[in-house]
Structure 1
Amino acid sequence: MRRGEIDGARQAPKRAVLGTIVEAFEIASPVEAIEPYGRGLINDTFRVVAGGTRYVLQRINGAVFPDPLRIMSNIQVLDRQARLHPDLGFRVPVLIATRTGEAGLRAPDGNVWRLMTLIEDAVGLPRLETPEQAREVGRLLGRFHTLLQSLPADALSVTLPGFHDTPAYLARFLSVLARVEGARNDPDVEIGVRFALDRQALAKRLADARDRGEIPVRVIHGDPKLDNILFDRDSGRALALIDLDTLQPGLILHDIGDCLRSCCNRSGESAGGLNRVSFDLAVAEPILHAYAEQTRAWLSAEEIALIPEAIRLMPFELGLRFLTDHLEGDRYFKVAEPGENLRKAGIQFDLVTDIEGKAADIRALVSRWNASEV
Structure 2
Amino acid sequence: MNLKETANRVARRFVAEEGHLCIRPLGEGLINDTFLVTVEQPSEERFVLQRINRRVFPEPGLIMENLRVLLDHVRALQAETENSRDLKFPEIRVTREGLDFWTDPEGDFWRALGFIADTCSHDNVQDAAQAEEVGYALGRFHALTSDLDPGSLHDTLPGFHVAPGYLARFDRVMARGLGFPETAELRFARDFVEARRPVFAVLEQAELPRRVIHGDPKLNNVLFDAGSGRAASLIDLDTVKPGLVHYDLGDCLRSCCNRSGEAADDASKVTFDLDICRAILRAYFAETGDFLTEIERHYLYDAVRLLPLELGLRFLTDHLEGDRYFKVAQPGQNLERALVQFRLAETVEAREKFIRKLTDERS
Query: What TM-score, normalized by structure 2, do the two folds share?
Result: 0.95
Separation of aligned partners in 1, 2:101 and 2:36: 17
**3-state SS of paired residue (1:85):** helix
Report 1:81-230 matches (<5 A). 81-86=73-78, 87=83, 89-181=86-178, 185-210=182-207, 215-230=208-223
Separation of aligned partners in 2, 1:342 and 1:181: 14
1:80 maps to 72
1:349 paired with 2:342, answer yes
Pair 187,12 (structure 1): closer, same or farther in 2 beyond 3 Å: farther
**Structure 1 runs not aligned, ≥5 long:** 1-10
- Once the two structures are TM-superposed, the CA of residue 183 in structure 1 deviates from its matched residue by 5.5
1:253 paired with 2:243, answer no
Pair 274,333 (structure 1): closer, same or farther in 2 beyond 3 Å: closer
Separation of aligned partners in 2, 1:138 and 1:14: 36
Separation of aligned partners in 2, 1:318 and 1:27: 42
RMSD of the TM alignment (CA)? 1.5
**3-state SS of paired residue (2:239):** coil
Separation of aligned partners in 2, 1:125 and 1:296: 27
Report 1:282-297 matches (<5 A). 282-297=275-290
- Once the two structures are TM-superposed, the CA of residue 292 in structure 1 deviates from its matched residue by 0.6
1:37 paired with 2:26, answer yes
Tell me whether 301-310 or 178-187 shows the greater mean CA deviation. 178-187
Pair 275,121 (structure 1): closer, same or farther in 2 beyond 3 Å: farther
**Residue among 29, 41, 53 paired with 1:61:** 53
Separation of aligned partners in 2, 1:281 and 1:255: 18
What amino acid sits opposite 1:71 in the alignment?
Answer: I
**Residue among 21, 32, 35 paired with 1:46:** 35
Query: What TM-score, normalized by structure 1, do the two folds share?
Result: 0.92
- Once the two structures are TM-superposed, the CA of residue 30 in structure 1 deviates from its matched residue by 1.6
**Residue among 13, 31, 54 paired with 2:3:** 13
Separation of aligned partners in 1, 2:14 and 2:254: 37
Q: CA offsets per residue over residues 235-291 of structure 1, 9 Å max, x none?
A: 111011111110111111100000000000000000011771000001000100011
Separation of aligned partners in 1, 2:128 and 2:29: 27
- Once the two structures are TM-superposed, the CA of residue 85 in structure 1 deviates from its matched residue by 2.7
Q: Identity over aligned residues, as a percent?
A: 46
1:55–1:118: 8 Å Cα contact kept in structure 2? yes
**3-state SS of paired residue (1:66):** coil
- Once the two structures are TM-superposed, the CA of residue 28 in structure 1 deviates from its matched residue by 4.2
What amino acid sits opposite 1:181 in the alignment?
Answer: L
**3-state SS of paired residue (1:24):** helix
Number of aligned positions between the proteins: 355
2:33–2:50: 8 Å Cα contact kept in structure 1? yes
**3-state SS of paired residue (2:93):** coil
Pair 181,129 (structure 1): closer, same or farther in 2 beyond 3 Å: closer
Tell me whether 62-71 or 24-33 shows the greater mean CA deviation. 24-33
Separation of aligned partners in 2, 1:313 and 1:28: 50
